[in-house]
Amino acid sequence: MNEGCSGGFGIFHGYFAENGHLVSEECAPFKYTTFGDSCKNYEKCPPVARVNSSYYLGGYNFNPSVELMQKELLMNGPMITEINAEEKFSRYHGGVLF
């Protein structure tokens, strides 16, 4: 519900996790698109985690180095990132994509 693969922004994931809660994969399985989906479909999912604080690593529109991202992971745990994938990635279902 944070614009997903239809032009969403990674920071929305952090914002959503701070102001709501995260649920399990079993209750809300990953979908490659959330177009036409609704939060009501997941309102009975029990909370499993919540994020206290989210932020841009290095600030907005900053391209952090591999070393800075490694340090962030070591010191603070998981991070959200975005990738610019080819169109064929939208049809990916498993295995190695060539």
pLDDT band at 67 (very low <50, low <70, confident <90, very high): very high
CATH of the domain at 80: 3.90.70.10
Is 42 part of any domain?
A: yes
48 versus 85: the higher-pLDDT residue is 48
Is 5 part of any domain?
A: no
* Total tally of structural domains belonging to the chain: 1
Is 70 part of any domain?
A: yes
Is 96 part of any domain?
A: no
Average pLDDT over residues 63-84: 85
Q: Which residues contact 51 (CB under 8 A, 6 or more apart)?
A: 14, 17, 18, 22
2-51 tens-digit pLDDT? 555 555 667 777 787 888 888 899 998 877 667 777 778 888 999 998 88
Query: What are the helix and strand counts (H, E) for the chain?
Result: 2, 0
Is 27 part of any domain?
A: yes
User: What residues make up the domain containing 44?
Assistant: 10-91
Is 98 part of any domain?
A: no
